[in-house]
Amino acid sequence: MIETTVKGKIVIAGAGVTGLMAALRIKQLDPGAEIVIFDKADRPGGMYQSIEYPGGRVFDHGMHVIYESCNPVVDDLYREVMDEQDWHIYENNEKDIAGLFFRGRLQDYSHYVDLRSFNEAEKKQFLGDFMLNLEADSVDSGRSARQLLLSQFGNEIVEAVHRPLVQALYGMSVEEADRFVVKATALERVILFNPDTMLDLMQSGKIRSRLAFPDQLNLPPYRTNDQKALYPRRFGMKHFIERLEGAVRQQGVEILTNIASLTLHCPSNRVNSVTIAGKNGDSKEVATSTLLWTIGWPGMAHALGVDMSGISMTRGPKVVYANLVFDKPPEMGRLYYIYCYDPGFAAFRVTNYTNYCPAASVDGFPVCVELWPSRLGLEASQLPDEQCLALVMDELRRMGIITDSHKLEFSAIENKGGEFPLPSLANTAGIREIKKRVLDKGVNNIEVAGIMADDDLFFIPDILNHAFSVIEKTFTDENRK
């Protein structure tokens, strides 16, 4: 049960999936808890909220499928919010059907880099160095992406593949990259062998952690969990968000949106109250027992007035969404999405919604292209919609995803998206320093969960597992003793 000796409400900063799910979990632990959630957006859901256009067209913010956390407390909650029959549920090899555009070829069999496309001499060098490296003693790579990649593959592969790839994607050297770049961009494995050879090699866990099976739909059952992927049967992740918001409100939780600013009142080592100001000029002060912060350490530091001098953070690639509808399916086979790793492209990811939500094709075939204009040296804010659309159409043709016979029936450019976090060593050091300065404030009734609350917390399964762990420690009497 939540501690009741301290008067005030539980205030949650952020009405994204983390904040909303956290509110439900707290209510499970103590149905009598009083909770207020606030967010700067005009509606809850964060990046899991859908974009709606006149005429009923709906798009998500790129690729958003919910992957289970393999934690029954989290995963059962998804089914409580939305009935089983209202979900598409994908498992085993159909959980995540992803591809890659690499070295001028569209890989429809795996999203891992395929080294079989290199010439014979290069492949021999890769293999020889890989096998020698496999026998070497493992070395702690710390936060260095280069050291982690070297320990995985050896110098030949890292220099020929990962160095130019990281530079093309993020505009930084592999020496500057944090190890999180390996996880964020699916670089932890490469393809070196055909399926028959890999069937034998995959008996070794050391091999499986480095080399990918080159046929994802026929991947042998070596999984360590039965994680599933969930997507609403009706097109648009908004259908889950609406159910989630409804479940939260039904529990008596107050959700405040369109928030312009907040002020934390901390006369001692506690937040006694929070003043929440709306964009319309209204404000309210909420007596606070606990503040659960789900929107990042930099925002927390700003709210507490932490001195940020000497901390330098580099912003990541600005994301632009090109939402398109074609008269026929894109040439992507069964793929849900592909990454584009080749230089000379602004596209980072292309999503084919129909392949995991058939209802998406009721009125044409929707496709989303997530662009990082900085990859081409372009400034997103200075990119006119017409130029952006022409760029997208050209790149889709060059990747073979559409042909001249595809007719574009609808297009919209969303140029107000956020930024992809830049996974650099400098930024990791900056976040750690911000976290230290926040904790040095000694405010003892603030808990931080959500994206990047801890090292490598980026994907929703990890985020929710961490958030629920924080809630268990914070809001149960047993763990307070």
CATH topology for 9-64+237-313+424-480 is: FAD/NAD(P)-binding domain (3.50.50)
Interatomic CA distance for residues 319 and 471, integer angstroms? 32
Dihedral (CA of 111, 117, 118, 123) sign: positive
Burial class (CB in 10 A: 0-12, 13-18, 19+), 453: buried
Closest CA to 1 of 467, 444, 480: 480
Interatomic CA distance for residues 331 and 401, integer angstroms? 5
Q: What's residue 7's pLDDT?
A: 64
> In the chain, where are the structural domains located?
9-64+237-313+424-480, 113-214, 315-414
Interatomic CA distance for residues 435 and 137, integer angstroms? 33
- pTM for this model (two decimals): 0.94
Burial class (CB in 10 A: 0-12, 13-18, 19+), 413: buried
Q: What is the pLDDT of residues 128-165, one digit of tens each?
A: 999 999 988 776 778 999 999 999 999 999 999 999 99
- The average pLDDT across 247-263 equals 97
Q: What's residue 209's pLDDT?
A: 92
Interatomic CA distance for residues 120 and 100, integer angstroms? 22
Q: What's residue 137's pLDDT?
A: 72
Confidence of residue 4 (pLDDT cuts 50, 70, 90): very low
Confidence of residue 479 (pLDDT cuts 50, 70, 90): very low
Q: What's residue 222's pLDDT?
A: 74
Q: Is the pLDDT of residue 477 over 70?
A: no
Where are the alpha helices (H) located in 35-119, listed in sequence order? 72-81
**Would you state the torsion angle of the CA atoms of residues 199, 202, 203, 205, taken in this order, to the nearest 10 degrees?**
180
Q: Is the pLDDT of residue 170 over 90?
A: yes
Look at the block and give the residue holding tokens 């050879």: 197
Q: Which CATH architecture has domain 113-214?
A: Orthogonal Bundle (1.10)
Q: Is the pLDDT of residue 417 over 80?
A: no
Q: Calculate the average pLDDT of the chain.
A: 93
Q: Does the domain made of 315-414 have the CATH classification 3.30.70.20?
A: no
Q: What's residue 388's pLDDT?
A: 97
Q: What percent of the chain has pLDDT over 70?
A: 97
**Sequence letter at residue 293:** W
CB 476 within 8 A of CB 301: no
Q: What is the pLDDT of residues 65-97, one digit of tens each?
A: 999 999 999 999 999 999 999 999 999 999 999
Confidence of residue 416 (pLDDT cuts 50, 70, 90): confident
